[in-house]
């Protein structure tokens, strides 16, 4: 590899960004920037049935959220002279190159329909063999018939019948025998190129010098070498990243989410059945989840694993799905810095015991020779720990930004609070909550008055040991505090405690139970300050009234 190194991240927009894809984009960016080059974003939208605009937007949104900005690609067309960066806009380029291979006899038209190919495949597999497509000649009559039937041919690349050696910068040399390489389709019957073809043409024309992608593409690389050879092009360097597994050992995929959502839907259907509610088909689910019946039926029939459907089903049924896509982590309150740091270590290590590393440190230390060859296991607990580290370490201004991005994608009472109050919340919780969503949950009481009080808590801190009396006196003092700040509250309650000759807990706990309904909350002065004076007094009054009723019973 010679400098500068140009890499590309080339997602297919068939769903939102998977954490594995995010890791690929991250490593591509690190390597390119380390070697004075650029990261290109290319949208591989040649699968017309499965590519969507929404996914295209979503992938870009998720990359930006992570801070993985690309140097060339959508939105940066002016930077390089290698666009367009959407494969669907490059059809003319592919056609020209297909024609070149047809003209030189390296590629040919093949007329079999999908059904015919399936038939051939079944025959071969019945003999426990692997199906290979063999080129055959068509008679003039056959060709006439195909035209009459309105068939369109695909174009196939003639494999030269030799094996290929993939020189991988991570895995070393990998030999792929000729038997594994048949005549791949390069242009589909709909006129669109296949992935294999478009990827080679684009990597070459976009002057990509290092192709870095997941190990699931290793065998494909051999097929791509055939194409480079046919065009007489020098192939780029290749490196394949280890797969990412769930803690359980299975491949971490969107299917995991779909599975949990389906199980919950089946369970709910049974429950409805037992209650005599209508449960036929999935129309009840489609309706509550605000989806089309067709979408839900095909999802439940396992025809696809679309996360938009799985997520909506999970939301209405109140189940949590495994986190697989970047957006799942954002919704569950993870910080981009922490996820990125975690992904850096998922398949790579600095060679010492450093774990929490700044972007600059990672950029400095990153090299391909420290990328693992074996699959990586995703360890959610470790990510949570790391997130907690970033909650504590990030500048408060940055946390405020990330909180705003979190609030864009969840429903939370924090949405309507202003910047000053959001900052107070972050200061209160950054030490105690490892994720923003845990903070969100823990802070709910600040937005909703307690409707009921925890019996254990009020027995212990209020009904016993004169707690009610102390609460009443504290209320009177708090009513006079002005201005209502944590410092002023402390300056009032501290002398009060001293007068009583008790520890702070004897004053703080009754107050805490009164305003929160439970015996846990952030430091009492901050909690009271956040709630504001009228609200605190009202909550204390409600609690006192409630306790009077309890005592009267
Ligand atoms: N569009 C392919 C994918 O999403 C890209 C593979 C590659 O990097 O070549 O899997």
pLDDT single digits (tens) 76-116:
888 778 999 999 999 999 999 999 999 999 999 999 999 99
3-state helix, strand, coil in the chain (%, to 5): 55, 10, 35
Are 146 and 111 in contact by the 8 Å Cβ rule? The answer is yes
Model pTM?
A: 0.93
Judged by DSSP in three states, 109 sits in strand
In this prediction, residue 164 has a pLDDT band, given cuts at 50, 70 and 90, of: very high
Sign of CA dihedral 250, 254, 257, 258: negative
Ligand 1 atom with the shortest distance to the CA of 11: 4
CB 41 within 8 Å of CB 74: yes
44 lines ligand 1 (CB under 6 A): yes
The alpha carbon of 228 and the centre of ligand 1 are apart by a number of angstroms equal to: 17
Beta bridge partners of 160: none
Buried b (16+ CB within 10 A) or exposed e, 332-369: bbbbbbbbbbbbbbbbbebeeeeeebeeeebeebbebe
Kindly report, residue by residue over 285-294, the tens digit of the pLDDT.
Answer: 999 999 999 9
Ligand 1 centroid distance, CA of 8 (Å) = 10
Give the mutation target among 46, 213, 225, 237 for probing the ligand 1 site: most ligand atoms within 8 A of CB.
213
Beta carbon of 324 within 6 Å of any ligand 1 atom: no
What pLDDT is recorded for position 552?
86
Q: Atom of ligand 1 at shortest distance to CA of 220? A: 9
Q: Cβ(260)–Cβ(322) under 8 Å?
A: yes
Which of 8, 51, 87, 195 has most ligand 1 atoms within 8 Å of CB, for mutation?
Answer: 195
Sorting pLDDT into bands at 50, 70 and 90, what band is 3? Answer: confident
The predicted pLDDT at position 251 comes to 86
Question: 213 CB less than 6 Å from ligand 1?
Answer: yes
Q: Is 200 in the pocket of ligand 1 (CB under 6 A)?
A: no
- Of the candidates 2, 8, 6, the one whose C-alpha atom is nearest the C-alpha of residue 217 is 8
25 lines ligand 1 (CB under 6 A): no
Confidence band of 26 (pLDDT split at 50, 70, 90): very high
Q: Is the peptide bond before 483 cis (omega within 30 degrees of 0)?
A: yes
Q: Express each pLDDT in 464-517 by its tens digit.
A: 878 999 999 999 999 999 999 999 999 999 999 999 999 999 999 999 999 999
Following CA atoms 95, 97, 103, 109 in sequence, which dihedral angle do they give, to the nearest 10 degrees? -50
CA of 11 to the centre of ligand 1 (A): 5
What is the C-alpha to C-alpha distance for residues 477 and 394, in angstroms, rounded to an integer? 37
Q: In this structure, what DSSP letter does residue 117 have?
A: H
Q: Given CA atoms 128, 130, 134, 138 in this order, what sign does their dihedral have?
A: positive
Burial 458-486 (b: 16+ CB within 10 A, else e): bebbbeeeebbebbebbbeebeebeeeeb
Asked if residue 129 has pLDDT above 90, the reply is no
Please tell me whether residue 247 adopts helix, strand or coil conformation. Answer: coil
Share of the chain above pLDDT 70, in %: 100
Q: What is the CB neighbour count within 10 angstroms for residue 455? A: 10
Closest CA to 205 of 42, 22, 46: 42
Q: Tell me the sheet residues that pair with 156.
A: 108, 185
Q: How confident is the model at residue 257 (pLDDT cuts 50, 70, 90)?
A: very high
Render pLDDT for 301-343 as a digit per residue (tens, 0 to 9).
999 999 999 999 999 999 999 999 999 999 999 999 999 999 9
DSSP H or E segment with residue 176 = strand 172-176
Confidence of residue 132 (pLDDT cuts 50, 70, 90): confident
pLDDT at 456: 96
Q: Which residues does 339 contact at the CB level (< 8 Å), separation at least 6?
A: 19, 22, 66, 326, 329, 383, 387
C-alpha–C-alpha distance, residues 1 and 7, integer Å: 11
Taking the centre of ligand 1 as the mean of its atom positions, its distance from the CA of residue 159, in whole angstroms, is 22
Cα 242 to middle of ligand 1, angstroms: 15
**What six digits make up the tokens of 365?**
């230390």
Read off the DSSP letter of residue 435.
S
pLDDT (0 to 100) of residue 260: 94
User: What is the mean predicted confidence (pLDDT) over 388-398?
Assistant: 98
What pLDDT sits at residue 465? Answer: 76
| Residue 132: both structure tokens together | 């290979």
**Could you tell me the distance, in angstroms and rounded to a whole number, from the CA of residue 33 to the centre of ligand 1?**
21
Distances from the Cα of 229 to the Cαs of 97, 160, 235, 396, in angstroms? 13, 10, 8, 54
**Residue 380 CA to ligand 1 centre (angstroms):** 26
Compute, in angstroms, the gap from residue 54 CA to the centroid of ligand 1: 18
- Please report which confidence band the pLDDT of residue 247 belongs to, taking 50, 70 and 90 as the band edges: confident
Å from CA of 10 to ligand 1 middle: 5
Render the burial of 158-173: b for 16+ CB within 10 Å, e for the rest.
bbeeeebebebbbbee
User: Strands 244-245 and 376-377, how do they pair?
Assistant: parallel
- CA separation for the pair 522, 284 (Å, rounded): 42
pLDDT class for 254, splitting at 50, 70, 90? Answer: confident
* Test site for ligand 1: of 44, 46, 166, 168, most ligand atoms within 8 A of the Cβ: 44
**pLDDT tens sequence across 353-376:** 899 999 999 999 999 999 999 999
Which ligand 1 atom sits closest to the C-alpha of 216?
Answer: 10
Whole-number Cα distances in Å, 489 to 486, 523, 527: 5, 12, 10
436-450 pLDDT tens trace? 999 999 999 999 999
Residue 521 — very low, low, confident or very high, per pLDDT cuts 50/70/90? Answer: very high
User: What is the Cβ-side half-sphere exposure of residue 530, based on CA atoms within 13 angstroms?
Assistant: 30
365 lines ligand 1 (CB under 6 A): no
Indicate the SS3 state at residue 272: helix
- Weakest-pLDDT range from 379-388, 404-413, 463-472: 463-472
Could you give the 3-state DSSP secondary structure of residue 175? strand
| 3-class DSSP state of 211 | strand
Q: Confirm or reject: Cβ of 10 under 6 Å from ligand 1.
A: yes
Ligand 1 centroid to Cα of residue 339, in Å, is 22
In the predicted model, is pLDDT for residue 461 greater than 90? Answer: yes
pLDDT at 249: 83
Q: What is the mean pLDDT of residues 420-431?
A: 96
Quick one: which atom of ligand 1 is closest to the CA of 213?
8
Is the pLDDT at 253 greater than 90? The verdict is no
Which DSSP state fits 67? T
CB 7 within 8 A of CB 37: yes
Beta bridge partners of 106: none
Question: What CA–CA distance (Å, rounded) separates 531 from 60?
Answer: 39
Per-residue model confidence (pLDDT) at position 131:
87
Secondary structure (3-state) at 371: strand
Residue 518, pLDDT score: 96
Alpha-carbon radius of gyration of the chain = 31
């Amino acid at each position: 590899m010679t400098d500068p190194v140009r890499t590309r991240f080339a997602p297919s927009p068939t769903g939102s960004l998977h954490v594995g894809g995010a890791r690929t984009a991250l490593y591509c960016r690190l390597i390119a920037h380390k070697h004075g080059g650029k990261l290109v974003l290319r949208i591989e939208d040649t699968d017309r049935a499965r590519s969507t605009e929404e996914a295209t937007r979503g992938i870009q949104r998720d990359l930006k959220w992570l801070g993985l900005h690309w140097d060339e690609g959508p939105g940066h067309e002016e930077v390089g002279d290698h666009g367009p960066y959407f494969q669907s806009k490059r059809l003319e380029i592919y056609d020209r190159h297909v024609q070149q291979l047809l003209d030189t006899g390296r590629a040919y038209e093949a007329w079999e329909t999908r059904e015919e190919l399936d038939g051939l495949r079944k025959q071969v597999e019945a003999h426990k063999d692997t199906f290979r497509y063999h080129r055959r000649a068509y008679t003039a009559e056959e060709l006439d018939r195909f035209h009459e039937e309105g068939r369109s041919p695909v174009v196939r690349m003639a494999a030269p019948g030799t094996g290929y050696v993939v020189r991988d910068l991570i895995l070393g040399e990998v030999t792929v025998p000729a038997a594994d390489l048949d005549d791949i389709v390069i242009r589909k019957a709909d006129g669109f190129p296949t992935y294999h073809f478009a990827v080679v043409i684009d990597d070459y024309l976009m002057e990509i010098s290092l192709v870095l992608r997941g190990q699931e593409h290793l065998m494909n690389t051999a097929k791509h070498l055939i194409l480079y050879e046919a065009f007489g092009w020098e192939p780029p360097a290749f490196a394949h990243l280890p797969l990412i597994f769930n803690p359980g050992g299975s491949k971490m995929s969107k299917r995991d989410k779909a599975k949990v959502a389906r199980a919950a839907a089946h369970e709910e259907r049974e429950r409805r059945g037992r209650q005599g509610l209508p449960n036929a088909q999935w129309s009840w689910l489609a309706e509550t989840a605000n989806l089309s019946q067709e979408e839900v039926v095909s999802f439940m029939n396992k025809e696809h694993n679309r996360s938009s459907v799985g997520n909506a089903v999970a939301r209405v049924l109140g189940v949590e799905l495994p986190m697989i896509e970047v957006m799942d982590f954002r919704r569950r309150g993870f910080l981009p810095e922490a996820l990125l740091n975690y992904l850096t270590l998922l398949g790579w290590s600095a060679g010492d015991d450093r774990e929490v590393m700044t972007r600059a440190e990672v950029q400095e230390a990153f090299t391909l020779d420290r990328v693992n060859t074996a699959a990586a296991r995703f360890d959610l607990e470790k990510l949570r720990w790391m997130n907690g580290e970033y909650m504590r370490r990030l500048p408060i201004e940055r946390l405020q930004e990330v909180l705003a991005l979190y609030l864009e994608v969840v429903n939370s009472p924090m949405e309507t609070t202003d910047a000053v109050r959001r900052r107070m919340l972050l200061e209160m919780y950054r030490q105690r909550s490892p994720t923003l969503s845990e903070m969100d949950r823990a802070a709910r009481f600040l937005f909703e008055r307690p409707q009921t009080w925890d019996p254990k808590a009020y027995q212990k801190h209020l009904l016993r040991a004169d707690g009610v009396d102390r609460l009443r006196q504290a209320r009177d003092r708090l009513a006079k505090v002005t201005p209502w700040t944590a410092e002023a509250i402390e300056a009032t309650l501290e002398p009060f405690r001293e007068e009583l000759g008790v520890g702070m807990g004897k004053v703080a706990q009754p107050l805490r139970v009164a305003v929160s309904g439970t015996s846990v909350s952030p430091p009492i002065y901050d909690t009271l300050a956040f709630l504001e004076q009228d609200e605190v007094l009202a909550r204390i009054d409600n609690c006192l009234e409630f306790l009077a009723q309890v005592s009267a019973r």
